[in-house]
Every structure is written in C-alpha cells, then in structure tokens.
Amino acid sequence: HITTDFIGEFVKVENRANVVNTGHEYQTTLSSADSAEEAQLPDEVITAEHSAIYAEIAGRIQEDYQNIPRVPIYKQDVCIFYSGLGGCTKGIELCNKEYGTSFCVVCVVDADQRMLDLHARNFPSIPTSLCKIGYSYTRTMEKIALVYPRHRWKDCVIIASVECKLGSTANLHQRNVAQFVKQNQFAVRLLKRMKPKAYLI
C-alpha cells in the first residue's frame, strides 16, 4: 500500500510544492515542512510518474536481494579415506573460504600412522582412524565407527583417494596394476556397504 508519507518523501526529493492528479492541483505545506510526515497529502494523489518511481525502486530492491551472498544453513559432513597428511582436507578448507561452501571434514582414515600424526598436527580438531583399507569390510567399518558414528554415515560424503603408487606409470619398478585395481574395487564395495549420501573415488 502506498501512503502519503511515501508521496511526501518523493515530492520532497523532487522539491515540488504541488502534486497534480487528473487535473486537480493540491497545495501542500512541503515548502515549510521539515519532514515528510508534516506534508499532509491526500491518499489518492498517486501520479503515473510516482508509479514509475515505485516500480524502479522495487526492481532495485529485487536485484539487490538476488545479489546477497547466500549463507549455507547446514554443514555437509565429509569423511576422507587414504587421507595422507591433509592435502584433501586443506583443499576443502580453501574451497569453503573461497566459494562459501559448508563442507566439514569429520574424520580421516589412513593406514600410515606417520601420515595421521602429521594430519593431526595440521588439523588438530579432526579425528583420525588408523585402518588398513583392503582386508576386511567389517573390521574397517568398526574402526571408522569409533570416530564417526554409523547413524551419521547416511548424511556423509566420503572421499576415497586410493593410493596411486601401484597404478602410476611413474612408478615403473614397483608398479602392480592388478593390486591397484583390487584396492579400488574393495574401496567401492566398502563405500556401497556404508551407504553414504554420496562418495567420490
């Protein structure tokens, strides 16, 4: 609803003393008024020009609203397998800072205690789990459950970056493609058993 206060404000900005509507002229006290509230204008005084001004302002408000940065209303849990010393964790941290995402690393899993120690030094608030992924589905899930409860798995995104040494062409003398494929197959089957919200190999 458009009130006389708004009309008075626009008239004040335009520094006019009269508002004309369908041929009728209304004298206002705007010239001596210190505020729009003191300018008593009839409710029916709405010209086509004012309607255009209102439309323009409404358009600007809508545009400003659309440009407001969106703040996530929830965080997305992420669990990282084969975490190493924290390269993926750092990438997620930078992604949140740069793009405003809400990924939260809730636990990391690795088979090398030295890597987990380094990860804990770099990210002390993130729980770690020492686990050799590739031998037992049940034992692996039990160890993960110690640091990240099972009932939360369904809402979690799991990133499993399987160690690439065995499959890399740069590792000419110790390359074992068959074992590399086996590790990836185990990881996929493990993730399907855990039934997370999503997973990435």
* CB-based contact 99:106 (threshold 8 Å): no
Strands 18-21 and 103-110, sheet pairing: unpaired
Could you tell me where the beta strands, DSSP code E, fall in the chain? 18-21, 24-27, 76-81, 103-110, 128-130, 157-160, 198-200
For 175-193, the pLDDT digits (tens) are 888 888 888 899 999 999 9
pLDDT at 21 over 70: no
Flag whether the pTM goes above 0.95.
no
* Integer Cα distance of 197 and 201 in angstroms: 14
pLDDT in tens, 54-64: 788 877 777 77
Q: pLDDT tens digits, residue range 41-99? A: 555 556 677 778 778 887 777 777 667 666 556 789 999 999 988 999 999 999 988 88
According to the model, what pLDDT value does residue 9 have? 47
Beta-carbon contacts of residue 84 (< 8 Å; ≥ 6 apart): 110, 115, 119
Q: Give the model confidence (pLDDT) of 133-179 as tens digits.
A: 888 899 999 999 999 999 999 999 999 988 777 777 777 777 888 88
**Per-residue tokens: 198:** 């999503």
Please give the structure tokens belonging to residue 128: 């770690």
Query: What token pair was written down for 100?
Result: 């405003």
